[in-house]
Amino acid sequence: MKVSQDLSILYYLRYDNNNTNGKATICVRITVTGFPKDSFSIGYQVDPSRFDKRAGVVMGRSTEVIEINNQLLHVKGELLRHYNLLKKQGSTVTPTMIKNAYLGVHQEKQTLLQVVDFHNGKFKEKVDKGKRENSTYKKWLTTKDKITVFLSGVLKMKDIPLERIEFSFAEDFFDYLTLTEGIQDNTAMKYLKNTKQLLKLAVQRKWLQCNPLQDYVCSYINPERDILTVAELSALYHKEFSIPRLQEAKDAYVFMTLTGYAYKDALLLTPDSIAKYFDGEDWIVKNREKTWCRENVPLLPLAKEILRKYREHPHCVANNVLLPIKSNQRFNGYLKEIADLCGIDKNLTTHTARHTFATTVTLANGVPLETVSAMLGHKSIRTTQIYAKIVASKVSEDMQVLKQRFNLKLPESMLSKAVA
């Protein structure tokens, strides 16, 4: 019977194999929209022929029948009462919670690892449906591993109830990650940020009153970012390799420096990614795989030249892609070889290509910060401002060199006349 929009209470009979008197046990099934059903026995047995399934009552006028029907009404009323009480508390109400409240069973508090498993389970469903990346899912699994080891190693607990988590949990967790495991501060902060997000989820699900780590600030230290100078980028572009894998990796890397595309985005570029835009020029029109923000970039002539070079490449034709890019690990390995052969004393990675586009190719040549931010697909211009600082630093270095070279002092012979 539908009791409310979300709640349904139904009586049914359970036939026990060891029952020899021909009677069946009356049970109640609780259903709440969106959750698994739960049920339990009322404690009465009746002749199945005298039970009205639709009405949920026993037919007859005997004292026993009246007693059973009164109990059925009482149970239904109590289940509805507990449902309404749980709803008033603002908690998520499940059939099991209603049953336990009626039976007086103590509700076990939610724990941190239960929240982690709930979150990761939902995330895995999104991965399976192609909504999220499996690589991100693996990072959440690693977060669970770090929390689990911290709980057992430092707090000496297999798990911790949400209600027992205090602000100091974040400080102790950070100290453990950085001091015991030797993890870099920025990486440790990512695990803290994930933990805060898990507790926020617990608050949203009404499993926790408030987030104890809400005021914990996850601060990051901006790392030194390698970028290529114009001279280094030019040397790289003009360098020709007789080994195909190195030549292909070099061309793909240069393409990234001319478009700002990250490895995953460049890897998935297809002919359909290029379109004639409003200005009649060729643009790459695509969302970033990482943030799904739009990252539209006009193609520079050198970038178009690289794409034309690989138009008929077997790998590109077979996979319907624009560049013959291999796995990220191999690609970065090839870049190390390329840097050595080109005499570039910098750690070339797919990230340095993106940084070089943001600085050497665009900002250093007068492209406005807002335009660069749009081409990089940044959600906030504050992210792009990091590169502006790098450019300012480069300007400062160049000016220091200029100070040493540039001299407008008068010759000694003219200086004496000027003083006179």
Question: In Å, what is the CA distance from 230 to each residue of 51, 172, 361, 365?
Answer: 88, 46, 8, 11
State the Cα–Cα distance between residues 11 and 54, nearest whole angstrom.
9
pLDDT at residue 309 in the model:
92
Is 218 part of a structural domain of the chain?
Answer: no
CATH number of 322's domain? 1.10.443.10
How many domains does the chain contain in total? 3
Residue 412 lies in a domain: no
- Six-digit token string for 39: 């049920």
Task: State the Cα–Cα distance between residues 379 and 364, nearest whole angstrom.
Answer: 22
Cα separation, 195 vs 189, whole angstroms: 10
- Domain identity same for 339 and 395: yes
Do both 179 and 285 map to the same domain?
no
- Same domain? For 195 and 272 the reply is no
Question: Is the residue at 154 inside a domain?
Answer: yes
Task: Give yes or no: residues 316 and 257 share one domain.
Answer: yes
Query: What are the structure tokens assigned to 127, written together?
Result: 């991965």
389 domain-assigned: yes
DSSP-derived 3-state class of residue 186 = helix
Whether the model pTM is above 0.75: no
Look at residue 279 in the predicted model and tell me its pLDDT.
79
Regions in the chain scoring below 50 on pLDDT: 415, 418
Is 416 within a domain? no
Q: Which of 170, 205, 240 marks a domain boundary?
A: 205
Domain-located, residue 214: no
Same domain, 121 and 88: no
CA-derived radius of gyration, the chain: 34
Q: Is residue 116 part of a domain?
A: yes
Contacts of residue 253, Cβ cutoff 8 Å, sequence gap at least 6: 236, 335, 338, 348, 350, 353
Classify residue 368 by burial, with Cβ atoms within 10 Å: 0-12, 13-18, 19+.
Answer: exposed
40-98 residue pLDDT tens: 998 899 999 999 988 899 999 899 999 999 999 999 999 999 898 888 766 578 888 89
Does 141 share its domain with 245? no
Q: Which of 103, 130, 159 is the last residue of a domain?
A: 103
For the record, the structure tokens of 330 come out as: 């191999």
Rounded alpha-carbon distances, angstroms, from residue 199 to 78, 136, 152: 33, 19, 19
Co-location of 53 and 184 in the same domain: no
Q: HSE on the CB side for 89, CA within 13 Å?
A: 16
- Clarify whether residues 99 and 24 are in a common domain: yes
Handedness of CA 373, 283, 262, 363 (dihedral sign): negative
Cβ atoms of 310 and 266 closer than 8 Å? no
Does some domain include residue 302? yes
What is the domain extent for residue 20? 7-103
Residues 54 and 191 in one domain: no
Verify that 301 and 394 share a domain, yes or no.
Answer: yes
Place of tokens 């600030």: 217
199/318 same-domain check: no
Same domain, 257 and 386: yes
Domain final residue, candidates 73, 103, 133: 103
